[in-house]
Amino acid sequence: MILVDKATPLRLGELVRGLVPEHPDLDVEVDATRLAVAKEGQLVVLVPNLDHAVWLNTERPVVAQRRLSVVLFCDEATSKGLAQRAPDFFHWISHRVECPPAVAPAFAVARLRAAMLTRPSAIVWRGKHLEETFHAVRSHRRLELRPADLRYATLAQRQASATDWIAFDRLDSPLALRRVRWALAEMGRRGRVFLVDPCDEVPDLPVLEGTPSSLRAAIDALRSAGSRRPGQLAALADLDPVRTRQLQERVRAGVDDTSLKYDLLEPPASAGESRQSTPFATLPFGGIRRAPGGSPDPVEALLRARTTELRLVADLANEAGDPDAAATYAARWLAAQPDLGAALSSLVTAWSGGNALRWLVVDLATLADVKGSREAATTLLDDLVAGDLDRVVHRVPWRLAQGRFLGDTLPEAERSSEALLRKTLGEPGSLARYPKQEAQLCAELGALVRGQGRYAEAESFLDRGAVLAAEKLGESDPLTATLWSSLAQVRAQLHRDDARPTAERAIRLVTRALPADDPRRAEDLPVLERIASS
């Protein structure tokens, strides 16, 4: 009996391919009890779990009686567990071999190479192992991971090197996916982009799966289809979920295991070769799925066309539910207007009652270079704070807008705004009579630090605001719903155990407090349902 220690499933196919020429009938099992029905004299690669340790220890004579040759393929924890729980069985090991370190999934490497040959505008990646697969294919290139929940201006920032790749993750809502595509259009970027686990299908892009099937699931699926050696086929397919599904179909169609085995042992064809003689001739290309085409996005189309109609882009982005992106383009439009006061007035009129105005006064950095009209702009901002928007809630965005208008840098302005928010929230009793304002300030500060990636701090402020809003404003208040929704999303980003119950409560609150046509409801519910079901 041989022990392959510190084993990883990604190396199992390599082991089986090395053994099959001398042991064509070998099989791979995850259920140790199936040793009792193995063919006499057979070689079995056993990938055990500790639930069968007692059975292995007490029924070990089965191995000798049936003259089985056994290769134990164990990770380090399983090896140690068997040594403790099945000591008599473990002492039968005659040789120990240490498995080489894990590698990128072979099927993912092959398909990524094939997808890159088609030069798509982006590649949709689902599952794990993106970084190791990328570096196996492009070892000399850099891969930058960029979360989709960054501020829009940061999201659309160009890279220093145009030959490097960007992987956008946290695409957990249609809006997040849409704003990434806008950012790519803003950068003028086509290609060298991954969209990682987007919530929806992305039209016309190749879709690659990076997560191998579990060995147990692959064996069960092939056995239920009628395979006599399901473990061998699953291992030779490198636990590739696409090939496993194809194998199931062919087994059901009556193709015998031996034919499938030799098809899987065929060396992969290079990019220019044709292999029409085997059922897997289209792989790795056949394992690449493409989502059907969809209607063009107007914002993306305008940005791809390098439009100068930035006010139109800002209005469309605002209508689509992204006030952050809308404010970014509105600020750029304002910078080019000769009458800044009139331009700001038109935006206030068009966007009254929406969140885009809050983002706009935070995003007026471009006004630092505008000559003239400063007095009119400052007066208008003062009127905006005192009039349409609540003075307490919007004091910090207003101060931030004026600070950046006078030339402060973004980090300086954000630091000053954060300090003011903390000071306001930290003054004992200063907001005791204004629970709604206090809850709103918690939401403002939570959003500010969350946008900087400081999720633990954001969680503490959002938790304070959510509890306060639920107690003082009631569960039918829209602010209560939005606070609990933001809290659930931040807890999910922190991988906290209470993210799921928080999301379940947020779903009830959003459904109760926000009307059916509210864009926040359409944006938040899919994200919350995904968190609640995870």
Residue with tokens 């145009």: 162
Q: Which pLDDT does position 445 carry in this prediction? A: 79
Mean pLDDT along residues 107-118: 90
Of 5-9, 329-333, 415-419, the range with the lowest mean pLDDT is 415-419
Residues 99-112: tens digit of each pLDDT = 988 888 988 998 99
Q: How confident is the model at residue 288 (pLDDT cuts 50, 70, 90)?
A: low
Q: Which pLDDT does position 221 carry in this prediction? A: 93
- 371 pLDDT more than 50: no
**How many residues would you count in the chain?**
534
Percentage of residues in the chain having pLDDT higher than 90: 37
Q: How confident is the model at residue 295 (pLDDT cuts 50, 70, 90)?
A: low
- Between 321 and 6, the higher pLDDT residue: 6
What pTM was estimated for this model as a whole?
0.64
> DSSP character for 353?
T
Q: Which pLDDT does position 519 carry in this prediction? A: 78
Angle between helix 478-493 and 455-472 (nearest 10): 150
**Using an 8 Å Cβ cutoff, are 330 and 347 in contact?**
yes
Q: Which pLDDT does position 450 carry in this prediction? A: 85
- 336 pLDDT more than 80: no
Rounded distance, CA 87 to CA 81, Å? Answer: 9
Task: Enumerate helices (H) and strands (E) in the chain, giving the number of each.
Answer: 26, 11
Rounded distance, CA 46 to CA 82, Å? Answer: 13
Q: Which pLDDT does position 137 carry in this prediction? A: 92
Rounded distance, CA 143 to CA 140, Å? Answer: 10
Rounded distance, CA 203 to CA 290, Å? Answer: 7
Secondary structure (3-state) at 126: strand
Mean pLDDT along residues 231-245: 92
Closest CA to 404 of 448, 367, 350, 437: 367
Q: How confident is the model at residue 292 (pLDDT cuts 50, 70, 90)?
A: low
- 19 pLDDT more than 50: yes
Q: Which pLDDT does position 380 carry in this prediction? A: 46
Q: Which pLDDT does position 84 carry in this prediction? A: 92
* Token pair of 136 as six digits: 């196996």
Q: How far is CA 374 from CA 344, 380, 405, 411, in A?
A: 11, 10, 8, 22
Q: Which pLDDT does position 415 carry in this prediction? A: 58
Mean pLDDT along residues 249-276: 71
Q: Which pLDDT does position 392 carry in this prediction? A: 31
Residues 433-492: tens digit of each pLDDT = 667 777 877 887 788 788 778 899 899 989 999 999 999 889 899 999 999 999 999 999
Q: In the predicted model, what is the mean pLDDT of the chain?
A: 80
Angle between helix 241-252 and 215-225 (nearest 10): 10
Q: How far is CA 291 from CA 205, 249, 301, in A?
A: 6, 22, 19
Rounded distance, CA 485 to CA 469, Å? Answer: 12
Of 195-204, 264-273, 386-395, 413-422, the range with the lowest mean pLDDT is 386-395
Q: How confident is the model at residue 332 (pLDDT cuts 50, 70, 90)?
A: confident
What does the angle CA 104 – CA 106 – CA 112 come to, to the nearest 5 degrees? 85
Percentage of residues in the chain having pLDDT higher than 70: 77
